[in-house]
Amino acid sequence: MLPQNGMAQNADDYFHDGAQNFISGNLESAIARVQEGLNQFPNDPKLNELLAKLEEEQEQQQQQQQNQQQENQEQDQENENQDQQNQEQENQEEQEPQENEQSEENEEQNPEEQQSQPRDAREISKEEAQKILQALAQKEKELLKEFKKQKKQGSATHDKDW
């Protein structure tokens, strides 16, 4: 590579120097070197074409950076939204025990209402459960009496057959 102090002798030297900078990953240096060559050799087709390619590459890199920045912003926004949702969920979870405590306090203050109106169709009050158990016990006694009666009638009929 030739020194970058403007000592290049012809357009090919600038072309090769610019290309070498590009290959080394120094896009800005490559563009600057090719532009120096074009200052001395403005009509050189290889330098003009190389400059066009380098500027195109520079635009693509800038576009990629912009896209990356936009993706990062979108990701940041998404993370912020997720954080907000998590915070709302935590707040809701914190409120549920408080609401349950309030509900329990209300139940303690109004036990008659609680017994007359169960909270859930599957939940019944203690008083209602006792009534149901008494009714079932009564029905069981009636069925047992009927069974014994039928058994006696059956054995009396059976004794006559002997």
Q: What pTM, to 2 d.p., does this model score?
A: 0.46
Q: Which of 47, 48, 54, 49 is nearest to 16 (CA)?
A: 47
* pLDDT of amino acid 150: 87
Residues of the chain scoring pLDDT < 70: 1-8, 98-121, 155-162
Tell me how far CA of residue 111 lies from CA of 106, 115, 154, in angstroms. 8, 6, 52
pLDDT digits (tens, 9 = 90+) for 40-74: 999 999 999 999 999 999 999 999 999 999 999 99
- Which residue type occupies 145? K
pLDDT of residue 157: 61
Q: Are 11 and 41 in contact (CB under 8 A)?
A: yes
Max Cα distance, the chain (Å): 141
